[in-house]
Structure 1
Amino acid sequence: MGAEFGRRSGGQSRISQWLRTRRPKDTDDEGGREALLLAAAAAGLPLAPAAYPAGYRCSCDRIGCPTPARHPVSFAWQTQSTTDRGQIERWARHQTEANFITATGMVHDVLDVPQSAGRIALERLIAAGIEVGPVAECGADRMLFFTATRGTPEDEDEWWPCELDCHPETMDEHPGLRWHCRGSYVLVPPARLPGDSGGVRWVRGLEHPLPDPLTLLEVLTDECAQYAGLAPEHEGAGWPTRG
């Protein structure tokens, strides 16, 4: 109720204050960047190099790149992704401007929501005493909730496709909640985005254990539905559905 009142009255939400006081320092220096990447790998997140911003454009050769600075460098990113410390150190030191992606569906999934909905959901989850894992902000428009994966069971016959599944090439079609699981990826902090769109940074760090995604899903989908209703251009798109 308090979160809804804050959103609809225009008042400042408690989560906005919390984010400002708890946000880790940005790490523009190479040592800080490498340390954060190694910490992500040590937490089990498989990493691979990604494109980076070149002014307002992408570092890749693709003209009119649809996801500038947000995609892997190699088409073999799924097999290339690793948690090997030595390999990540080599990448970080030889590709000093590169962003990094983490492949989802191996160790972790990511619930990717509009930032305005994510901030209110985060406040609700914390207030309800629900364990929330690592959370990152991606630019000025998205928030990433890192969870344990449900995409790689021991018995492949038990793998369940979800109507919320999101793959990189379909992200523009899903302005609401995106579920990154097997076959998808997200940028991992620290990462830079083109122009003035900001970067990717931790709001809650990797010291927080990965929760089951289903423990967060109800609150996140509820806030995404509210977001869809408040944003006319997104009406009816609180979460993706298959045609």
Structure 2
Amino acid sequence: MEDTVVTIEAAQIPVQRGESLLDTAVRYAEERHWDVVPGAWLEAVDGVQRCSCGDARCDAPGAHPVRPDWASLATGSASAVRRMWQQRPDASILLPTGRTFDALSVPETAGFLALARTERLRLPLGPVTLTPDGRMNFLVLPGASVKLPALVRALGWSVSSLDLVALGEGAYVAAPPTRMGSRGAVQWACRPTAANRWLPDVEELVPALAYACAR
């Protein structure tokens, strides 16, 4: 029953309503001190929302980098962020990992189980995104991508046996309210608040996430 309650509550967490992508990107830089970078955007083609990259079969329409040097353009300067989104107001919001945070990515079903477990055990939890393609990204302190394999092995599993991926340097997560084509928008399953400004270390979340993935 506990798992069901958490699932329903997390799924209903609203996106920042009425706030533009520009305002949201600036707020991430100002309030959380996160680096942000504009990504692809959606364009209407014959009444259908298509990715600006032009690939009709794009895996993440409107929610991926547009340039090879995207990581070097990411910035935590609010004024620079404002200028970038003024040039392209409909650009997606991408948050590079491996800087102020890494992310632990798991399937949505495992993510909801892990949320229930962390709540039950009162474990520390940072912001968590929920993507329209069925993934949850748990933000943790940098270094998770290096530590994850040994932590999973210590619990009796191999990394290859679990759909548990650490996103570190060179990777990114799409931030709410970025839309992924017709699939919908990225949402916060656990939104950023003053209480979760200090992120947990990977060691604190891996047991719950690995257990949920194994189930």
Distance (whole Å) between structure 2 residues aligned to residue 180 and residue 139 of structure 1: 18
The 1:176/1:19 distance shift into structure 2, 3 A limit, reads: same
Alpha-carbon separation, structure 1, partners of 2:52 and 2:162? 25
TM-score, reference length from structure 1: 0.73
Partner of 2:170: 183
CA-based RMSD: 2.6
CA deviations over 1:49-79 (Å, ceiling 9, x no partner) = 1112333431113464343223112211111
Q: Distance in 1 between matches of 2:108 and 2:213?
A: 10
What is aligned with 1:19? 10
- Shift of the 193–66 alpha-carbon distance from structure 1 to 2, 3 Å rule, reads closer
Partner residue in 2 for 1:154: none
Residue in 1 that maps onto 2:210? 221
Amino acid in structure 1 at the alignment position of 2:17: T
User: In structure 2, what is the equivalent of residue 169 of structure 1?
Assistant: none
List alignment gaps of at least 5 residues for structure 2.
151-159
CA contact (8 A) 1:72 1:100 kept: no
1:206 deviates by: 1.9
Query: Matched residues in 2 for 1:24 and 1:44: separation?
Result: 22
Report if aligned partners of 2:162, 2:210 keep a CA contact under 8 Å in 1: no
User: How far, CA to CA, are the matches of 2:109 and 2:187 in structure 1?
Assistant: 16
Show CA shifts across 1:171-227 (max 9, x none). xx99822210111111011100111x111122222221211122111111111111x
TM-score normalised by the chain length of structure 2: 0.81
Structure 1: gaps (5+ residues): 7-12, 152-158, 165-172, 227-243
Counterpart in the other structure of 1:202: 188
Partner Cα distance (2:16, 2:101) in 1:
24
Q: Is the 8 A contact 1:15 1:119 kept in 2?
A: yes
Paired residue secondary structure (2:38): strand
Contact 2:129–2:137, Cα closer than 8 Å, also in 1: yes
Contact 1:68 1:194 in 2 (8 A): yes
- Give distance in 1, aligned partners of 2:148 and 2:39: 27
Q: Residue 102 and residue 20 in structure 1: after superposition, are their counterparts in 2 closer, same or farther (change >3 A)?
A: closer
